[in-house]
Chain A
Amino acid sequence: MSTSTAIHIERAQEFFLFQYDFVLYALGASVLVGIVCGLVGTFLVLRGFSLLGDATGHATLPGVAGAFLLTGFQHPAALLTGALVSGGLGALTVGAFSRGSRVRSDAAIGIVLSVFFGIGIVMLAYIQDSPTGRHAGLEQFLFGNAEAITAGQLGVLALIGLALCVAVAVFYRPLALMTFDEGYAKSLGIDTAKLEIGLLFALSVAVVISIQAVGVILVAAMLIIPPSAGRFLSGRLGGVVAWAMVIGAVSGAIGAFISYVFAGVATGPAMVLAATFFFGLALLFGPHQGVLTAWVRSRRRR
C-alpha cells in the first residue's frame, strides 16, 4: 500500500470519528449549503432563472472584498453584510433589466456576472498586494473552504438558513402559483413584483450563507444541479423541492468529506462533483422522463 493511500484512509477515519470540532462545523456548513440552495434553487430552475444564481454568486465577491477593505480584517458579519449588499444588488439589477425590453435577460445575466466578478477580482488583487491582506485568505471565497468555519459562524449561518426555510414555507403557495402561472397569480391579487423581489432576496441570502463553504464561483451549481436532479425524481413541486434539499445536503456532506481526505481539494468543487454524480443517476434512472426509464417503458409498450 502506498503511503499516500494510507494517509487518505487515516484522514477518512479521522473524519468519521469527528476528532476535531472543525470537521463537524465544516460538515454542518456544507449540509446547510445543500439544504438552502436546494430549496431556493428549485423555484429558480422552474422559473427558468437558473443562471440568475450564477450572477448573484459572482456578484457577492466585490462585497466581500469591500467589507474587508473597510474593516481592515476578516470580520465575518461584515463580510456577510458586504456579500449580501453586492449580491442582492446584482440580482436586482438582472431583475430590473429583465422586466424592461431593452436588454434580454440572458445578456443581463452575462453583463452583471462578469462586471461584478471583474470588479471583485481587481479588489482582491489590490488586497493581496497590501501587507495586511496577504494573509487574509480571501481567495478561499472563490472555491470555498468549509474547514475555516468556526462554531459561532456556523450558528449564525444555521439561524439565517432556518429563517429562510420558514419564510419560503410560509409563502409556498404564492411562490408556487407565481412560478407556474404568473398571470393567474396576478388575477388573484398576488403582488408578483414584490414576491419576485422577495425571491431574489431569498436567493441572495442563500448565496451569502453558502459562499464560505462552496465559494462564489460554484455556488450556482448547488442552486441548479440538485433541483434539476429532483425533476427526474418527482412529478410534484413538493417532491422536487424535497429531493433537491436531500441531494443538496448529501452532496454537501460528501463534499466536506472529500475535501478533508484529499488535502488541497476545495470544498466547492468536491460538493459539485458529488451533486453531479446524483444528477447523473437521476437523469438515467429517474421515474420522470429518466433516459433509461423512458427507454425501458417504450420497449415494453412495443
Chain B
Amino acid sequence: MSDPVVEVQQLNLSYDDTPALSDVSFSLPAASLVGIVGPNGAGKSTLVKAIVGSKKPDSGTIRLFGKAANKGRSELTYVPQRGAVDWDFPITAEQVVWQGRYQSAGLLGRFKKEDRQAVADALEAVSISDLANRQIGALSGGQRQRVFLARALAQGGQLFVLDEPFAGVDAATESAIVDVLRSLRDQGKTVLVVHHDLSTVGEYFDHVVLLNRRLVACGPTAEAFTADQVQETYGGRVAIFADDGDGKLVV
C-alpha cells in the first residue's frame, strides 16, 4: 500500500505553558473525506495549523505524502477560518481567488491562460461567478466561505485542509460546499475538515479524527464514531438520543 497522505506522530504543541495537543498520533489514507471532531478548545484548529505549517510543534513529526511536511506541503491547500482575515481589506472576490495562483506564478511571473481558466472554473464550481467583482466586505458569510473555497480550488493540490468551513454559513452554502468536497474526494484527493456539528458527522465523513487535546479515536466513521468514543471526547457532556440500528448515531 502507498504511503498515508497525512501521518502525525507524537505531536505535542502548547501555547506558552498551556498544552493544546499532547502526544497525538494518527494517519489518514488517500481519497477520503475526513472530519476532525472535538469540543471547543480541543486543539482542532491547532492541529490543522501544525499540519499546514503555520504553527510550529514543540515535538513530534508530521509527514505528508510520505515526505517531510515542508516538502509535502507543495501539494497541500489550506482554507483558513473565515474569522482569520480582515474582510474590510480592499480586494474583490475574484482577486482573492487569484491568490490561489500566486504560488505557481512566482514573484513576478505573468499569469497565463490556464491561470485565468483555473480562476474562472473555481468561481463557477462554487457558483459565485456573478460576484467576482464584488468587494469581499459586501459578501455574506456563506459567500465569503465560497470565495475561500474557490481560492483553494484555483490552487489545486492533493490534500485540502479546511478549518470550520460550515461555521455560520447558510444551508444552501453548506450543501454546496459538501458537494464540492465530495467531488474532490471522488477525484482521489484527501479532504480534511475541522467540524463542529456532531449531527452531520455520519452523513459527511468517511473517516473521523476524534480529538480532545489528545487523540481519542481515528478511523472509518462507522468504527470510530461510536457513542462511547464521542462521550469520551466530549467528557460525557453530549446527549446521544439513539443508536438507530444501522450504526449511525443520532446526537
Contact = CB atoms under 8 A, between A and B. Distances in A.
Interface in B22-67: 49, 52-54
Nearest to B70: A189
B171 interface: no
B210 to A, nearest CB: 24
Given A173-B107, A186-B52, A189-B53, A180 B70 contact: no
A177 interface: yes
Interface of A: 46, 48, 101, 170-171, 173-174, 176-177, 179-184, 186-189, 231, 234-237, 239-240, 288
Name the prevailing secondary structure of the B interface residues: mixed
Contacts of A184: 78, 80, 99, 151
18 contacts: A173-B105, A181-B80, A183-B49, A183-B52, A183-B54, A183-B84, A184-B80, A187-B161, A188-B102, A188-B103, A189-B73, A189-B74, A234-B90, A235-B92, A235-B135, A237-B89, A237-B95, A239-B90
Residue among A48, A173, A239 with the highest chain B CB neighbour number at 10 A: A173
Name the prevailing secondary structure of the A interface residues: helix
A158 to B, nearest CB: 23
Given A183-B84, A184-B78, A187-B53, A177 B73 contact: no
Interface residues of B, number: 31
Residue among B76, B91, B108 with the highest chain A CB neighbour number at 10 A: B91
A180 B92 CA distance: 12
A187 B78 contact: yes
B80 A180 contact: no
A183 B92 CA distance: 19
B91 A187 contact: no
Contacts of B80: 181, 183-184, 187
